Amino acid sequence: MEKEGRKIRILYAEDEAETREVYRDNLIAMGYDVCAVEDGDQAVEMYKHEDFDLLLLDVVLPGKQGDEILKWLRSRGDRTPVVIFSSTNKHTLLIDEGYEADEYIDKAISLSEFKTRLEKVLNHAWGKGMVDRLTDRVSFNRLTFVLTVDGKDYQLNYMPGRILSILCSNRDKGIAPGDLCMQIWNRHPEKDNDDSLIDELRSYISYIRKLVEKDPRIKLKKIRGENYILNIMA
């Protein structure tokens, strides 16, 4: 998932090592940039020095507790989305005190439901203006990487989602394959003498093309044998 051409950054505070590792790895697999810390004091210090798009907090933490971090943020007028991810019902006290988080997720929830509810928070907070309506039949959400064709949602993985997001941002002029590779892998097939990048890119382009060209008005092609472009006919 992306915001303004980069991965969504999540600050995740969880003191249980196994839980922290499992959810950190799953969040990374979902396409997020994740900074995982084991106590509340680390979370606050990290937040002071780096930019994050969402905080995922356990309530019971060494150092500052999750509810204390939430209160600290809101008392500063900071409306960065906060998700309380805990097995305690202490969040009811937060609501009573007027420090309501954006979402409360019980640790007993399934991974698929966790993913859905997290995306809902992010889409509400950052998703405005992130949907490209290519035609009346096809739209693409650059935040969640959901491509909708004729009412059916296709959840793209990070690489095809990233590529389609870049193509949507360059609809008027297109983008050269080498420049696409640089934005995706920070490597250039010619400068780095790596033809495998082009082969991998072609594979992703082929996959995206099969989906978007379900509407015959959309063509994902190369113009003048060079730039990839999303050509949308009126």
The answer to whether 155 and 168 have CB atoms below 8 angstroms apart is no
Q: pLDDT tens, 80-96?
A: 899 999 886 655 545 44
| Average pLDDT rounded to a whole number, residues 55-68 | 93
Alpha-carbon distance values, 74 to 10, 60, 77, 169, 212 (Å): 18, 19, 5, 34, 42
Residue 224: how many CB atoms within 10 A of its CB?
A: 7
Q: How confident is the model at residue 3 (pLDDT cuts 50, 70, 90)?
A: low
pLDDT higher than threshold 80 for residue 98: no
Q: DSSP assignment, residue 127? A: -
Mean pLDDT for the chain overall: 86
Tell me which of 119 and 13 has the higher pLDDT. Answer: 13
Q: pLDDT tens, 152-197?
A: 999 898 889 889 988 988 877 889 999 999 888 888 988 888 889 9
What is the domain range of residue 8?
A: 2-126
Domain boundary among 126, 153, 174: 126
pTM equals 0.61
pLDDT at 87: 80
| Average pLDDT rounded to a whole number, residues 7-34 | 92
Q: pLDDT tens, 121-154?
A: 888 777 655 778 899 999 998 777 889 999 999 9
- How many Cα neighbours within 13 Å face the side chain of 103? 23
pLDDT at 1: 62
pLDDT higher than threshold 70 for residue 16: yes
pLDDT at 128: 58
Domain boundary among 64, 93, 126: 126
pLDDT at 13: 97
The answer to whether residues 84 and 140 belong to one domain is: no
Domain boundary among 70, 95, 126: 126
pLDDT higher than threshold 60 for residue 43: yes
The answer to whether residues 118 and 170 belong to one domain is: no
Number of domains in the chain: 2
The answer to whether residues 113 and 168 belong to one domain is: no
Enter the tokens of residue 138: 């096809």
